Structure 1
Amino acid sequence: MPTKDELRQTFSKEWKKHYEINALKEKGFTRQECKKCKRHFWAIQERSTCADSSCTGYEFIGNPPSSQKLDYIDTWKKIEKYFTKHGHTSIEPYPTVARWRDDLYFTIASINDFQPYVVNGEIEPPANPLIVPQPCIRFSDISNVGITGRHYTNFVMVGQHAFNTKKTGMFYWKDEALSHDLGYLKTLGIPEEKLIFLEDVWMGGGNFGPSMEYFVGGLELGNCVFMQYAFRREKQSELSTKVIDMGAGLSRLAWITHGSPTSYEVVFGPVIEQMKKNASLKIDQSLFERYAKYAGIIDAEDATHMAAQKKFISDSMHADFGQVAEKLRPIHSLYACADHLCTFLFTSTDGMLPSNSGGGYNLRMILRRVFAADEEFSFSLDYAKILQGHANYLKPIFPKLQEGVPTAIDVVEEERKKYAQTLLKGRGKLTSMISKAEKENKPISFGTLKTLYESDGIPPELAVELGKEKGVKIEFTDDFYSKIRTPDEEVEGAKKPDVEGIEKTAILYYSENIFEFEAKIITMRGNCLALDKTAFYPESGGQVFDSGTIGGEPIEEVIKEAGVVLHKVKNISKFREGMMVKCMVEREKRTNATRHHTAAHLLNAVCREILGPHVWQGGSHKDEEKAHLDITHYKKITTEEQEKIEQRVNNYISKNLPIKSEVLARNVAEEKYGFRLYQGGAVPGKELRVVSIGELDHEACGGTHQMLKHTGEIGVFKIIKCEGIQDGVVRISYKCGPAAVKYIQERERLLSDSAGVLGIDEKQLPQSIKRFFEEWKEKGKRIDELSEMIAKMEAGRLIEEAKKEKGQVLQTASSADSLLLKKIAAEISTSQEAVGILLYNGEKDVVCAVGGAPNLDASAILSEFCKKHSGKGGGSKKIAFGKIERLP
């Protein structure tokens, strides 16, 4: 596929086709060229430059183009009112955690809401045309947050979307889109003559098209993409569904009406005002306002041009950039804290918690940045009040944030404690490293900084500060945090089996009672058979694959890929293509695996009820004997919580709730049940199989739940263990049905046998065990004291015998166990007598100890002895230990 620059050049040559738009021409916009960047733009007034901040800086600061000042919430209300008045439907935003996608951790743009199924025309959009206030999470600009006045790790994208299908025709395209963009901007008080439309291209996921970015006074407000082309197999083609994908930053639209030095005061409203007040910040307001006009030029992500950007600002301000940046660092850091805590509120409300991997890594990173800044600048941040303040201010647009506040407060406090403990351990390590670097005259590398930050919680800013004191160079760059972040896109998954050219398999395993069937082998790949139809369930959703036989040959694995089910067998030679085979599915394994799978849905719902709405499924495994469910949770589950969870699951089982499976169009399922559907992650296809347990739980799931009609068929439910498997994830292991009964019986038998051995009643067992343990500890102390005495006495006896050997090594057998042998050897090694003694016991343990005999080497003596008797060992000149296979 061509690069973005190549496409930009191609489209620019064909500008009349792509960028000459009547909606602009009729208003007097003409095509012009920027003298600085050489790109083309459309404006009503003649200009020498485009309005990108890199070419002009911020021209609107102190000189807002709007005739009215709007706060953040009112800006959205005005935009929503305009679009709904002009035939658009305002829809609810999607979650910030993109669980319906397998290629993203977070929602990074409003178009993500409709990819891939609406965009490719497989399903109908929720409305057409529509607008959505979509909160987006992006960590790619983290190093710019707080500094440029416009960058965030979370922002609300005003999404204006229309889908031109074969059914609708081209009812809403370039003219309609830009006419509405001019219209809504006018309602915000922005005159058309202040607008500049910059020609650009957009590409992603194999799709691309021309776009028009629109600016005012150096600030990009939005980008209207005309998604109309696809690039498949080296060929360009027209998309069957042509999409208007306009995304505008709500923060920038509100900011432009104020012309304030940064957008943060407008976006965070009363929250940032209170933060400033509590922090007692004193800044040079004149310097702050002068710098703000040039802040848009800064891009910490662009390392190659960073030096030139800083020089330009220094020259323009007639001040040293480094000194200016250092003076303004406290306020820039405070803005970043406000942003990061708001991001965390959104993501934790949607069920993503801090961890050391994936999207959770980025959340831990931003919280650590907050804690580090709070400590460095003594901000005295009240995290609970800030989080609640964000939720209160944003309530008119995002009321669901209110229910996420308690969890967010708890998690932030847990993370703060962890950070403090890690930092306490790490400071000493950093000091040692800097002292060593000072002595060796070497810098602290980026890699070392990264390790110190990730493993020891040491913020790079602290390393820089301590490095300056010692004159040690610290290889810290402005884009440090951007370099170490986890990409917004997930990494590629495991390699998938090749099923190209194989026709899809007819699925029988969703039928209730098909455990025997005949099928035709349509092809063979490696050790795998592809049948024309199958009742064998493939490994999916954490449920194990079915066992059974094909033509009498046991199945080793069942895999499904792109609608094709492959059956792995050990002996492939007995089969041939076109052969009819008799297939037998093992009923009992399937039934018990289904019980465990259905119990997982029930358990997940109960954990949400008891632990909080932040709980999401993070992984699972269910077989016929046992199962586990991994859930997102930020601390250890207590014994009381575990018991409560177990009791409530059994309570729902006893209520015999109905279990229903239904296949729905994806958009219908999402509208009916919401995004809680995606507990197991992204589910491919335009249709979803939804499993409902009464009104308690609804999940998109491909499991064989149809085998059970009511929860009573799950049987008894028993939690075996709760354990943290990684930060932010707790694993609950459990059994149900016959497997649970068997487990309980085994535990009862163990309890009964233990009580029988002690000759007590089972109820007395805990107290008796406690008493025995205390007695054992006391006896253990006495035994240790006694063994020390024996070791000293035996060492003394052996030394006297060894002295008779006149410089030769005493070699003798001993009845002591391994531990006592070591104690005897330790006593001998402290003796001043010129003796060497080698001891071995019936367990083939060997020790050698040397007293005050400089000519003897315990390690060499023991090695020679072990060599003669097929053993191994080693140690020091004074004492050595080993093991032999043959006794002398």
Structure 2
Amino acid sequence: MTVKEDFINLPFFVENGWVKKTCPVCGRVFWTLNPEREKCGDQPCEPYSFIGQKVGVSVDSISEVRRMFIDFFEKRGHTSVRRYPVVARWREDVYLVGASIYDFQPWVTEGLVPPPANPLVISQPSIRLTDVDNVGKTSRHLTGFEMMAHHAFNFPGVNIYWANETVEFAYELFTRVYGVKPEEITFIYDMWSGGGNAGEDYEVIVRGLEVATLVFMHYKTDESGGLIPISNRIVDTGYGLERIYWLLTGAYNVYEAVFPEIVEYLRVQSGLERPQEEIMSKVARASGSLDYKKPLEALATLSNIAQSVGMSVNELKRYLEPYEAIYAIADHTRTLMWMIGDGIVPSNTGAGYLARLLIRRSLRYMRKLGLEMKLSDIIAKQIEKWRNDFPEYSEVQEDILDIIDYEEERFRETVARGEKVIEEIIKDSLDKGVKEIPGDTLLKLYESHGIPPEFLEERAAQRGLTVNTVGFYSKLAELKGRSAQAFKEAVRMQIDPSLVQGFPPTRKLYYENEKLFEFTAKVVGIIDGKYLVLDQTAFYPEGGGQLADTGYLEFDGRRCEVVHVLKVGDVILHEVRGELPAVGSTLRGVVNISRRLNLMRHHTATHVILGALRKVLGKHVWQAGALKTEDYVRFDFTHHKPITPEQAQQIELLANRVVWENRRVVKRFIGRTEAEQKYGFTLYQGGVVPEKVLRVVEIEGWDAEACGGMHVDNTGEIGLIKIVGFEKIQDGVVRVVFKAGEPALRYVQSRDFLVSALKELLKAPEETLVEKVAELMSRVDHLEKEVKRLKEQTLIGSLQQTVAPALTIGETEVYLIDSADAEPREVATTLGRLKPNAVVVVYGKDGKIAIKVGDRALSTYDARDIGRKLCEKLGGRGGGVRDLFQGRVDDVANLRKVLADVFGA
């Protein structure tokens, strides 16, 4: 038989009376114990038949369903593994965990490291936003869900179990544990791929609902989607916790099953009646066919439902909309609990972008429902609801709610600012005669201004314009959901890896003794006439945010300078200046001690500072970039708010206490899986480390990270940490600059010198310096205002006496003025105040122009239109607002003539 036939004709089916059929609707092969069954049972082949029905055993909670699953597999030799964070810190290709197998890709699935247990069972919170536009509208879609799974990793020489046993496990679980009747189960054969792997699979269907997928991974996928067989055979299963609970309860939809308390709370707060049983049941049974990313098909399904309940499609839509909003909020707020609680800070990039998307969708739905509450109030209820399942979120509740509140406040400000942008888009569309506002405008509105397209949709509809928002968020999530390959720090000179092939790995003496500053080595090669390859070295190569060592090499009474060191694969290259030693010769290497010690102090101080940041600001703080130099450290981290002076002082004090406590700094090499289990995923604060064995740097009782950099042996060696300052560098990312050791002391001394100099200049004691400077600034501000007032009076007097209009168009006077030494804008705005019925055009010798339209003339003229026409005819560019245009033209000499043409005079 072929591989396909082997997977289809499993002994479990063949030997136990199962009937193999082909579905007449979808054409897929499926197995059933009901010989009368014709269709496979999947959607949209059959409607849901479990709504309002008693299916299987009675369960008290969703937690019980999870416990039953884990107990079943533990009794069958599986080790229970704690869930991973929903942020995939250990991977470069994705931001969020979308399935339980993500936890083990690529390291375990490729056989590079052992799994945490084999076989194992897990219930993994997972997030998928590619169907976000369907959430709340269909009965089944969620952005966040728990994927219960059992995994077996079959490696060469290690055989756990494979397809036949996996299918049998599924059958036993659903029939013996969950009480589903055997004849109600179908197994549909198919193919699956994801995360770079692929394999045959079986979808498990019960009364129309897909409740599990059983994947047998034994392929890798290439860039074109082709299948490449691999020696590892991995059982990758996914059982939908929420779907199984929904099945066992027979609720209208998954939201009513999983979030009944949240749904009821939002319904009452919204002033909604309970939904009508007949309508909701009919929607639920047919909802498997609903997919709002396929609007025509969804409309056809809604039309059938509407007809069956005696409503028009529009009436049905209006009836369902408030309930759909409630369902979406219930889903989104739990997903946000997971995302924010696991360390995501909303921002304009990466996983933070996706969190912000869900926050703004939730706020949009709340506004639609007229809910007078904070989004954080709902998330607080989610944290309470899931307290027993996820107690870790109760520990960081204050941080979660603070981040959500801050985002909501910013969103309200964004919406207020966006009113003007929306009006401009609508006006521009009407001026151009456009009936439908295009999708790229919606994307720009959201990306550049943070305004959800529904805000534009509402306003546009009032003006006879249409906006197509179908699938907008799903497309956005798909576009932003995959990580670009992680940033790799560039070395000064890129080296072709093929040039180091054939060289043995360089022995890394700097790891054996970080305070080894002199060594002997043998020259094994020279590349490009300036890169030395040695058999061993104490020179640290640039990487991990730390600069390379410098120093010199001595040989045969001569010497060359080491100016840079880089690592290519396992080979370390020394860039040198001066005469080169011969290949095969022995030399003495000397590392710049002062530079190395400063780099070591700064690198360890970075770990100390990170720990202090997380202690003071919260566990959402993650490294977002770092540069450790000889003189300072520039460290970027995720945080949603500006740092207050009090927080800055507390962080600095806490960091220095760790220095004074002289804690041990332990460096050890540990297998990847063991390190993750011992320290968790904060190991990857510095980013993904693509190694089977991790070098873990642990400051005892404070911080542990996978790090290849140079570190002191005890924190006391750092001496002193001095924070220079904090600044926000982008949305959701703050930068701290600090110094350690001698550079820190020199910085403090320089501050003392400045204070002494100020005391001398101001003739004041130190404690009154701030007061004296404030007094001087107040005086300067008063004098500057007085000077500005006098200049304006002089300018007004001069203009009133010498300026005459260049043109008169009806009641509007057009002035053309040479600004001389003044700024064109200053002259234009001053005369514009004096002449409210005028258009003032001011130019300078350098081609600068400013156009001011007086208040009364605004009903007839737009400064932007005038400026655009002038720039088209005279060459140049500019921009502005309705009453003021600024720019530059190439041909000032013809300005008067062209101005007359523009005004038709």
The two structures have a TM-score, normalised by structure 2, of 0.83
Deviates further, 187-196 or 56-65: 56-65
Q: CA deviation at 1:305?
A: 5.7
Are 1:344 and 2:340 an aligned pair? no
Partner deviation per Cα, 1:395-442 (whole Å, 9 max, x = no partner): 332221212321121111111111111101112321332233234320
Q: Match for residue 721 of structure 1?
A: 725
Q: How does 1:248-259 map to 2 (within 5 A)?
A: 248-259=239-250
1:675-694 to structure 2, matched below 5 A, reads: 675-694=681-700
Comparing 360-369 and 692-701, the one that deviates more: 692-701
1:664 aligns with 2:670: yes
Distance 1:792-1:343 versus aligned 2 partners, 3 A rule = closer
The one-letter code sitting in structure 2 at the alignment partner of 1:260 is: A
Q: Which SS does the other structure have where 2:264 is aligned? A: helix
- How far apart, CA to CA, are the structure 2 residues paired with 1:257 and 1:821? 72
Contact 1:522 1:532 in 2 (8 A): no
Distance 1:64 1:298 in 2: 24
* CA–CA separation in structure 2 for the residues paired with 1:824 and 1:308: 61
Task: State which drifts further: 513-522 or 751-760.
Answer: 513-522
Structure 1, unmatched stretches of 5+, are 1-10, 800-815, 832-837, 850-858, 864-871, 879-888
**Distance (whole Å) between structure 1 residues aligned to residue 530 and residue 483 of structure 2:** 31
Identity percentage of aligned residues: 33
CA positional deviation for 1:137: 1.3
Kindly report which structure 2 residues correspond to 1:29-108, keeping only aligned pairs within 5 A, or say none. 29-46=18-35, 47-108=37-98
Q: Cα offset for 1:481?
A: 3.9
Question: How far 1:155 moved relative to its partner?
Answer: 0.6
Structure 1 stretch displaced more, 32-41 or 458-467: 458-467
Q: How does 1:805-820 map to 2 (within 5 A)?
A: none
* Corresponding residue to 2:544 among 541, 546, 564: 541
Shift of 1:645: 0.8
Amino acid at match of 2:527: M
**Deviation of residue 487 (structure 1)?**
3.7
d(CA) in 2 for partners of 1:541 and 1:230? 30
After TM superposition, give the deviation of residue 262 of structure 1 in Å. Answer: 0.4
1:182 aligned residue: 171
What letter is aligned with 1:723? E
Matches within 5 A, 1:111-510: 111-167=101-157, 169-186=158-175, 187-230=177-220, 239-282=230-273, 283-302=275-294, 320-442=312-434, 443-483=436-476, 485-493=478-486, 498-500=496-498, 501=501, 503=503, 504-510=505-511
Moved more, 717-726 or 453-462: 453-462
SS of equivalent to 1:257: helix
CA shift, 1:484, in A, is 5.3
Cα–Cα, structure 1 residues 448 and 567, in superposed 2: closer, same or farther, change >3 Å?
Answer: farther
In the alignment, the residues of structure 2 paired with residue 747 and residue 679 of structure 1 have an alpha-carbon distance, to the nearest angstrom, of: 32
Residue 767 of structure 2, aligned match among 743, 763, 768 = 763
1:109 to 83, 94, 99: 99
Letter in 1 for 2:160: F
1:353-388 CA-to-partner distances (Å, cap 9, x unmatched) read 100011111111110001111112213344333222
**Do the aligned residues in 1 keep the contact of 2:796 with 2:830 (CA within 8 Å)?**
no
| 1:119 Cα deviation after fit | 2.0
* 1:701 matched residue in structure 2: 707
Distance 1:698 1:480, change over 3 A: closer
Alignment correspondent of 2:742: 738
For residues 238 and 824 of structure 1, what CA distance do their matches in structure 2 show? 74
1:518 aligns with 2:553: no
Please give the per-residue CA displacement for 1:426-483, whole angstroms capped at 9, x wherever unaligned: 1232133223323432021111112222333332223222222221122322344433
The Cα shift of 1:740 comes to 0.8
Q: Distance in 1 between matches of 2:331 and 2:8?
A: 36
**Cα separation, partners in 2 of 1:335 and 1:502, compared to 1, 3 Å:** farther
Residues 789-804 of structure 1: pairs in structure 2 closer than 5 A: none
Offset of 1:84 from its aligned partner?
1.6
Deviation, 1:261, is 1.4
Structure 1 pair 747–35 and aligned structure 2 pair: CA distance change class (3 A): same
| CA distance in 2: counterparts of 1:315 and 1:824, whole angstroms | 66
Distance 1:427 1:196 in 2: 53
Is the 2:376–2:401 Cα contact (8 Å) retained in structure 1? Answer: yes
Q: Give, in whole Å, the separation in 2 of the partners of 1:88 and 1:408.
A: 34
Number of residues paired by the alignment?
A: 822
- Secondary structure of 1:691's counterpart equals strand
CA distance in 1 between partners of 2:572 and 2:270 (Å): 62
Partners of 1:657 and 1:61 in 2: CA distance: 61
| TM-score, scaled relative to structure 1 | 0.85
Q: CA deviation at 1:272?
A: 2.3
Residue 559 of structure 1, CA deviation: 3.3
Query: Quick one: which amino acid aligns to residue 600 of structure 1?
Result: T
Shift of 1:556: 5.1
Q: What is the one-letter code of the residue matched to 2:407?
A: E
Kept in 1: contact 2:102–2:195 (CA 8 A): no
Q: CA RMSD in A?
A: 3.7
SS at match of 1:699: strand
Distance 1:312 1:817, change over 3 A: closer
Where does residue 570 of structure 2 map in the other structure? 563
CA distance in 1 between partners of 2:418 and 2:375 (Å): 24
The 2-side partners of 1:114 and 1:20 are apart by 29
Deviates more, 1:395-404 or 1:713-722: 395-404
Q: Distance in 2 between matches of 1:414 and 1:518?
A: 57
Is the contact made by 1:359 and 1:486 (CA closer than 8 Å) also made in structure 2? no
Structure 2: gaps spanning 5 or more residues:
489-493, 804-819, 836-841, 851-869, 875-889, 897-905
The answer on whether the counterparts of 2:523 and 2:586 sit within 8 Å (CA) in structure 1 is: yes
1:132 alignment partner, SS class? strand
Cα deviation 1:557-616 (Å, max 9, x = unaligned): 433344333445578x96887676654432222211111111111111111111122222
Cα 1:255–1:704, aligned 2, differ >3 Å: closer, same or farther? same
* Structure 1 residues 531 and 374: CA distance shift in structure 2, 3 A: same
- Give the secondary-structure state (helix, strand or coil) at the position aligned to 2:546: coil
1:59 Cα deviation from its structure 2 partner = 2.2
Give the partner amino acid of 1:563.
D
Q: Give the Cα–Cα distance (whole angstroms) in 2 for the partners of residues 471 and 820 of structure 1.
A: 41
Partner SS state of residue 368, structure 2: helix
Cross-structure match for 1:640: 646
Deviation of residue 491 (structure 1)?
1.4
Distance 1:693 1:374 in 2: 46
CA deviations over 1:762-809 (Å, ceiling 9, x no partner): 22211111222222233334444444566678889999xxxxxxxxxx
Matched, 1:711 2:715: yes
Query: For the Cα contact (< 8 Å) 2:375–2:408, is it kept in 1?
Result: no
Instruction: Report the secondary structure of 1:36's partner residue.
Output: coil
CA gap of 1:588–1:190, structure 2 versus 1, over 3 A, is same
Q: Which stretch of the first structure deviates more once superposed, 474-483 or 608-617?
A: 474-483
Q: For residue 304 of structure 1, report the CA deviation from its aligned partner.
A: 8.4
Q: Find the counterpart in structure 2 of residue 3 from structure 1.
A: none
